[in-house]
Amino acid sequence: MDFDAVLERCDSFGCFQYIILLCFGIVNILSSMHYYSQILITFTPEHWCYHMKLANASFDEIRAIYAQTPSPHCTLLDDIVDGMPIVAEVGQCQQWIYEYERGYRTITTELNWVCDDAFQSAVGQSLYFVGSVTGTMFFGFLADKVGRLPAMLCTTLSGALGDFLTSFANNLPTFALFRFISGLSTDTLFYLMYIMVFEYLSSRKRTLGLNLITGLFYFTGLVFTPWLALWSGSWRLYLYIASMPALIVFVFPFLICESAQWLITTQRYERAVKCLKRVAKINKREVKDEVFEEFVAYYQKKAGDEHKLVATKDTFWGMFRTPRLRKFTIIIVLKFIIISLALDVISRNMEGMGTSPFLLFSATSVVYIFSGCSIILLQNRIGRKGMAFSTLLLSAVIVATTGFLIATLDTEQHAITLAIMVGLGRYGVVISYEAEAQYASEFIPTSVRGRAMANIHVAGFAFTSLSSYVIYLGHFFKPLPSICISILLLLGAMLCLALPETLNQKLPQTLKDGEEFARHQRWYYFPCFDRKQQQKDAEICN
């Protein structure tokens, strides 16, 4: 009797699953607040060099005067005569006038990281992503060594500590160091909890549970985060407030238990049975001891039969030793790089769209609800592969269209049109990202799922550090970031065709299972176009 069969006896969608989904929802809120704080604390408002004759001028008057200079934001003025600026021949700006968004101060405005010093915030952001790469590798390794739950607790608290310490930074070295610490938990606090929820839900409820919770709770965090920042009035106070809710994870060990699948793969059978009995108790199910004895005997026999294989190959790098698994692993890594970079660029590239970046970010975050509902409605019908392919292709078209509109329209006059296109672009890429997370989790064998997902996320975040440079391309040609991202998304869609479908398939638990997984499938197989095969797969899986 395997894990899925025992989980059904204990109930795969009962009270315990509701509790763990609630914990996952809390983690979604923490994750969204943590990740996008990187944007909010380094936001650069419109600014101009200070001149004493402009001390009492309105922003419209200041904007009109500096519009006559070659570099409005960084031009030092000698004098202003009848509304005409006289540019200073020597010297640089030492003081600036900022048009604050509802009085909100960022570290950029507080330390004047603009013009020639604009690179300093970029350095801090780079260290944040270096921390995310380091933390993903470390906590992914920790998840497969000591367990998903303790690793998730540690990574959540490290991120909160980094945000808290950042609120005391007064210069670039301390800011970069504390952002590195903060970056250690980026995404790992999300995907480690994602794996735990994934492993305690049946395949029939997995799409509904994971995507409904992500859509609702991640959306909640995204919508309220910009307004929390504006309400706080200062990046320091915002980080201080945002770091406090992470302390709630101390309650998690009393509500949920360790991943039973991980305990089985590490041959901790007694703890696995204890966890499953707890699941049955919370779900008010009576499961006889004979069921658990048969369950343990099944995996002990399987472990004995595959002892040599497990001892030598069940590592992440073992996924590269066999031809099919190697090909699929490389494709998954490339796809995650593309989707992660695209999501970060689209989510951060909110300036210069004719409206407040805070309002635009908050308003377009509603797509997380729609994306979650879209996945719930479609993914079990068209399959994981079909969902990934279609959304990436759709996203490529939307983002390319957005770039065309940016190049041809006046942003001030067509702010609503651009906001709609930005929202549609986020919608498509968010669906791709969430669908990819489930797709990869189902395909990767249980024995290396923590390490594999960690390393895949490492690759994604390593390339996400390039997002600032992709956005910077807009200084040369405004729609260039959209063009680059649309090309990458199109490439990602093509890569999907080389992956197998996981819908209604018996998911692999070891590397041997992974190599043989879905060997009968063709590259053009989509369940929605082959109902007979889909029914056969469902019967085999059940």
In angstroms, rounded to a whole number, what is the distance separating the alpha carbons of residues 72 and 190? 42
Q: Is the dihedral of CA 81, 83, 84, 88 positive or negative?
A: positive
Residues near 355 by beta carbon (within 8 Å), at least 6 away in sequence: 415, 419
> Do 348 and 376 reside in the same domain of the chain?
yes
Percent of the chain past pLDDT 90, that is, above it, reads 9
Residues near 148 by beta carbon (within 8 Å), at least 6 away in sequence: 192, 193, 195, 196, 258, 259, 262, 450
pLDDT of residue 542 exceeding 70, the answer is: no
Q: Which of 106-110, 288-292, 397-401, 410-414 has the lowest mean pLDDT?
A: 410-414
469-507 confidence digits (pLDDT tens): 787 777 678 788 889 999 999 998 998 888 888 777 777
Q: Would residue 41 count as lying in a domain?
A: no
pLDDT of residue 17 exceeding 70, the answer is: yes
CB atoms within 10 A of CB 231: 13
In angstroms, rounded to a whole number, what is the distance separating the alpha carbons of residues 252 and 255? 5
- Transcribe 411-451 into DSSP letters: TTTTHHHHHHHHHHHHHHHHHHHHHHHHHHHHHS-GGGHHH
380-395 confidence digits (pLDDT tens): 788 888 888 888 998 9
Largest CA distance in the chain: 93
> Do 342 and 473 reside in the same domain of the chain?
yes
Among 276, 305, 334, residue at a domain's last position: 305
261-284 confidence digits (pLDDT tens): 888 878 888 888 898 889 889 988
> What token pair was written down for 510?
């070891």
Specify the CATH number for the domain of residue 359.
1.20.1250.20
Q: Would residue 107 count as lying in a domain?
A: no
Residues near 18 by beta carbon (within 8 Å), at least 6 away in sequence: none
> What token pair was written down for 397?
């078209």
> What token pair was written down for 467?
């997002």
Q: Would residue 108 count as lying in a domain?
A: no
Q: Would residue 112 count as lying in a domain?
A: no
Span 165-185, average pLDDT: 90
Q: pLDDT tier at 238 (50, 70, 90 boundaries)?
A: very high
> Do 190 and 339 reside in the same domain of the chain?
no
In angstroms, rounded to a whole number, what is the distance separating the alpha carbons of residues 40 and 239? 10
Number of domains into which the chain is organized: 3
**What's the confidence (pLDDT) of residue 312?**
47
Q: pLDDT tier at 311 (50, 70, 90 boundaries)?
A: very low
> Do 94 and 223 reside in the same domain of the chain?
no
Cα–Cα distances in angstroms (integers) from residue 143 to residues 24, 155, 313, 462, in the given order:
17, 10, 18, 20
Span 67-85, average pLDDT: 83
Span 190-205, average pLDDT: 80
Among 261, 285, 305, residue at a domain's last position: 305
pLDDT of residue 361 exceeding 60, the answer is: yes
**What's the confidence (pLDDT) of residue 532?**
56
**What's the confidence (pLDDT) of residue 305?**
66
CB atoms within 10 A of CB 42: 22
> Do 282 and 359 reside in the same domain of the chain?
no
> Do 300 and 320 reside in the same domain of the chain?
no
Domain housing 318: 313-542
In angstroms, rounded to a whole number, what is the distance separating the alpha carbons of residues 540 and 260? 23
The closest of 442, 455, 441 to 140, measured between CA atoms, is 455
pLDDT of residue 310 exceeding 50, the answer is: no
**What's the confidence (pLDDT) of residue 34?**
86
| Residue labelled with tokens 């706080």 | 232
**Which carries the bigger pLDDT value, residue 364 or residue 19?**
19
In angstroms, rounded to a whole number, what is the distance separating the alpha carbons of residues 393 and 493? 6
- Transcribe 270-286 into DSSP letters: HHHHHHHHHHHHHTT--
